[in-house]
Amino acid sequence: MRITVTDDLAACLAIRRKVFVEEQSVPESLDCDAADATAVHLLATLDGRHIGTARLLIDGPDGKIARVAILPDCRGTGAGAALMRAALGELRARGVSTARLGAQTHALGFYEKLGFTAYGPVYDDAGIPHRDMSRTL
């Protein structure tokens, strides 16, 4: 699998549409927003097929990993963990010292294995329960 920073926003949005809009019933207007224009986008490719994406929002020493999506048939293969490790590496390379994310509550364990700690209450984001998480880089 190959994970790279990409300018191919269309490929990233296609994965996000499949996962968030079609699978999780998130309104497309909530998935695509103005932050996409300034975010750093990562694209995971396996055997020439785009299988995952994440976007990074950087604000000085703080970075937010968002819109993490792996196509359904590629979950459980380690692709998500590899994408997250690449995101953390990219944030480090850009001088970020704290990584944050809003995790769907069913995925808290996944992010905890990557060194994230949950904080604050559970909240609703697009009809899906989430909790904020962070980790030092």
| Residue pLDDT, tens place only, 88-133 | 999 999 999 999 999 999 999 999 999 999 999 999 999 999 999 9
What's the mean pLDDT when you consider all of the chain?
97
Report pLDDT for 114: 98
Report pLDDT for 11: 98
Report the distance separating Cα 126 and Cα 137, nearest Å: 29
Report the distance separating Cα 29 and Cα 77, nearest Å: 30
Tell me how crowded residue 31 is: count the other CB atoms within 10 A of its CB.
18
Report pLDDT for 53: 98
90 or 28, greater pLDDT: 90
Report the distance separating Cα 96 and Cα 2, nearest Å: 23
Report pLDDT for 95: 97
Which has the closest alpha carbon to 116: 45, 74, 49, 68? Answer: 68
Give pTM, 2 decimals.
0.96
Report pLDDT for 92: 97
Phi, psi of 70 (to 5 degrees): -125, 135
Q: Is 7 left (phi over 0), alpha (psi -120 to 50) or beta?
A: alpha
Q: Sorting pLDDT into bands at 50, 70 and 90, what band is 43?
A: very high
| Residue pLDDT, tens place only, 61-82 | 999 999 999 999 999 999 999 9
Which H or E element spans position 66?
A: strand 62-70
Mean pLDDT in residue range 23-43: 95
Domain spanning 2-97: CATH 3.40.630.30? yes
